[in-house]
Structures are given as C-alpha cells and as structure tokens.
Structure 1
Amino acid sequence: MESHYSRRDTKKLYLAAHLNLSVMYRLYVEIYCTSESIPPVSINVYRKIFNSYDPQLSFHVPKKDQCSTWNVYYSTTDKTNLEESWQLHKKKEKEAMEMKDADKKRSLEDSIYRAISFDLEAILLVPFSADSQIYYKRKLSVFNFTIFDSFDHSGHCFLWDETHGSKGASEIGTSLLKYLYNLPQTVSHVSSFSDISGGQNRNQFVTAAMLFAVNKVEHLQIVDLKFMESGHSYLEADSIHATYERARKHRKIFTTEEWGLLIEMIFMTYRNWRHL
C-alpha cells in the first residue's frame, strides 16, 4: 500500500489492511512453497524474518494520521525549547477549528454562502479480495476524491483509476471545478477547508483552478482556500471515507465500476450523497 499523507514520511513499507502475519504465512505455505516444491519454515522463523526485514514492514490500518508535533512534544523530557512552538501549534489548531465551525454555521444561514471540506481517500485497489490467488497479482490503483457540503450535509464523490489520471493537483482542481460549475445560481461565495498536502491541495495549480472558476462562473465571486493545521485536519469528508472502509470488509471487488457500485449502495442509505 502506498503511504498516505503523514505516513509518506516514514521509512516503513505498508501491506494491505486485510493482511496479517497469520494470513501471510498461510499464503506462503499454500502458494509459494507449493509452487516451488520446497518445505516451509515454521511460523516462528517466518515471524522472525518478517520482523527483521529492512525496510521495516507494517500493516496499513485506516485511521486518522497522528500529529507529529504532538508526538515530539510529549516524547521529550525537557520541553523548554519546544514550549513556544507547541503553544503556537495549539493556537493555530484552535483558530482553524473555530473558523471552520463559523463558516459551517454561516452556510446554514446565508443562501449565497457555501462551506465545504474536501479530501482524497487513501488509494483503493483493484482487485480487492482476501482470496489467496489474488494476493500476488499486480493491483490497479483507484482514487476517490470527496467534497462535503455543509449547507445540506451532502457528499460529492469523484472516482477514477490510474488509467485515467493520477492523484495530483490537476485531478483535484478538475474535480473542484466540476463541483463549482454545478452550484446553484444563488451561490456567490464558497469557503473550502482541506489538509496541507502540497501535492494535492495546497499548490499553485488548485489556486489557479479556483481563480479560473471565479472568472468563468458568472454567479461565483469569491472562493476561499483555507487549510487546517498539520496533524489536526478533522474533515467531514474523512467520515464519508470511513463509511466506505467499513462497508468494503469481506467484499470482493474486481473493477473500478464495482467500487462505484459500492459507493452508490452507500448513497442509497445516505440519500443526500452524490456520486460523480
């Protein structure tokens, strides 16, 4: 699994979430040793080799990334030199959360104003299954970009795979443009919140796309790009992603279209979500 956001800075290599050491050992015995006609080592030896592998291996568990500033501060005995930066970090976190809450409240009271948050989900894989025959197959990367609109609590999801694009700023900007073009004529001001990922959200390309929208969409006058404090990007879009990750357990998915069908199935439960 490709490292996602703060995990990209680690030296670890992440394996898929549906794997664990027992599953991998079973696959090793049933597939590798059988195909090579060799006797398997014991699970204790297998575990020792796994734990001593360089670079270190770990299993990807979908969860919110931890704050690196928090980890450094609380793992240091002498905090004197870190106190000032820590207090500034907490102040920025509080200001960002208060601003997001204020914008969400305004979007409910002002018909010309919309507050949105957006995020790209951790990479989905095709095929996706616990089947041992699929374990050694090359996977296709599928991307899901989600926008949450605080006005009507609706989710807007943009799904594509690596044969149609990557997960860069151009794809993010295109998805945001499509959302802005479909806003009601009464909306003239959009305030957006995202994390500080430079390759996806916080860059000149997304900024240029928003400037293009302001110039080309007649009723749109202002688009604010606001970024949460690093390690504290509590975005509503992440909750939508967590719903997908719960729903995909024990399922077999072999095509990008099937990921779309799974999302649409969730939309039938949460009727105010959109799939684009």
Structure 2
Amino acid sequence: MDIFSELFFQRALLGGALIGLMAPLMGVFLVLRRLSMIGDTLAHVSIAGVALGFLINFYPLGVGLVFALLASFAIERLRKAYKTYAELSIAIIMSGGVALASLLFTMGKGFSVNVTSYLFGSIYTLDNVDLYLMIGVTILVTGFVLLNYKEMFLLFFDEDAAGVSGLPLRFYNIAITMLTALVISVAIKIVGALLVSALLTIPVAASLVIARSFKHSVFMSVLFAEVSAIGGLVIAGLWNLAPGGTVVMLLIAMLIGTLTYKVSFRS
C-alpha cells in the first residue's frame, strides 16, 4: 500500500505543515520572554476542555480551544497580580487544568480512551473541520506576526522601552497568550498534549544555537519545525511508529546535531 496516496495521510501531512509554521512563530517569543512552560499549562487545560467536549457530546477540539483561551486570560490576570512572581500564574493554571481534567475523566469513564488520543496525538484522525480550524489559526498567527513584527521585537527584548515608546503592552501580552492558546489547542491532535510544548520550544532552542540574528532565528525555527513535522510523519508512516513521538524525537536529534556542530565549529 502506498501510504502517500491515502487521504488520511495527506491530511496528516498538511496538518503537520501548518503546525510546523505556527508553533515556532509563537515559540520564539515565548522563549525570549522565559514563558516556555506556558505550552504545557495551556495543553493541560485544553485536555480538560476536550474531556468536557466528550462529556457533553460537542466538538472536543473546539471546547478545548475555548478552555485554552479562558486560561490565557487567567494567566495574564494572575501575572499582573503576582508581578514579582509571574511564574506562579503558570503553576496555578496548570494545577487547575490537571485537577479539572481528572474530575471530568472520572465523570465520563466511557470516553477515557478517546481522550487518551489527545494526550499522545491522533494526527491520522484529522478531518476536514480540524484542517479548516488549523488553516484559520495559521493565517491568524502568521498575519499577526507579520503585521506586528517590529513591535513584538521591541516588546520582548526591552519591555520598558516598548512601554515608554507608547506600545499598548497589555494588548500585545494578551494577544500573544491568546494566539499561543489557539496554536496549542489545534496542535494537541498532532503530537498530543504531553508533547505539544516541544513544538514551541525545541525548534527555537536549536535555532538559537546557530542563528546570526533574531530574524534568522525565526526563520531557522520554522525550518526545523517543518522538517521535523513532515519528516517525522513520513518516518512514522513508513515504519508504523507513533507520529507524535517520532516528530519530537526528530526535533531532539536536530537539536543535538546543532549543538554538536557548534562545539565542533568552535574547536
């Protein structure tokens, strides 16, 4: 059987390519703001939403997206309440997301197997609605970054200077967190909630090793993510491996490769 001719695999490749574009675009700015763990937090909250979606028999990915958006607002509010200890907001929301998910699991034991697919990814089950949602989020994220590139660059490298220059800091902080929530919500069906933060952070980590500038870092992050998403899915399809795990392991291999290259280059 030629797996590349199968519609489910073509959908998977398209979904992987979309996530490979939008995830590192958000990841670059999250890493620079030292908010790498926000991916795990929003992913756990999204799973609680997915569980509720199964419980009420309504589009689980959509409910997970709503939960992630609400969590993004809560994180921003808590960050303002604990300015000196901003990371507390992430820990609090993550704890609440895990607790709520566990309660919903016990309320709907019959759908626990279905929810498990969202924990580890189920890219081969993508349907047209999922793809339309991913395309919409990709357009939104890419458009926002392109239109606000200079402002975001200033914000994340010197927030005080950005505030003095008149940038609406509250707007950009909320917008970035909300866009991250959207990306994570649609990405959990690709690699699963337990691995989704890898697509936000590892491509960026690899790019920072070899990047010559901020713009180069953004480009390399997207390149690493696309290669891992497409390459990982092809490898998983040909050798019958777990798609999400294969994508992330390929990312880690590329990170090790860039680190090795830099050490060898310096020596």
TM-score normalized by structure 1? 0.29
Greater helix fraction, Structure 1 or Structure 2? 2
> Higher strand share goes to which structure?
1
Considering Cα pairs closer than 8 Å and 6+ residues apart, tell me whether 1 or 2 has the greater RCO: 2
Q: Which has the larger radius of gyration?
A: 1
